Amino acid sequence: MSVWQLLSMLVGFGILGPVFVLPTLLAISRKHPRMFLIALFNGMFAWTVIGWVALLIWVTIPQQKPAP
């Protein structure tokens, strides 16, 4: 493996890694009530594009706050 191949792999992982866990990072930053499930499903289904998009939609849907 050449140095350029190794460097391109590291750059690729550096860019794609955070994109892969984006639904989990958004759930944490928004304090989503189902944060644990989103993180779990992200690890299980985010490698499929459909699963990743579904999780991203789930995280971005506004959550209703319970009435006092």
For the chain, give every domain's residue range. Answer: 35-61
pLDDT of 58: 94
- pTM score, two decimals? 0.77
pLDDT of 66: 67
| CB of 41 closer than 8 Å to CB of 34 | no
| CB of 42 closer than 8 Å to CB of 23 | yes
Write out pLDDT tens, residues 40-50. Answer: 999 999 889 99
Tell me the C-alpha distance between 5 and 10, whole Å: 9
Write out pLDDT tens, residues 7-46. Answer: 989 888 888 888 999 999 999 999 999 999 999 999 999 8
pLDDT of 40: 96
pLDDT of 23: 95
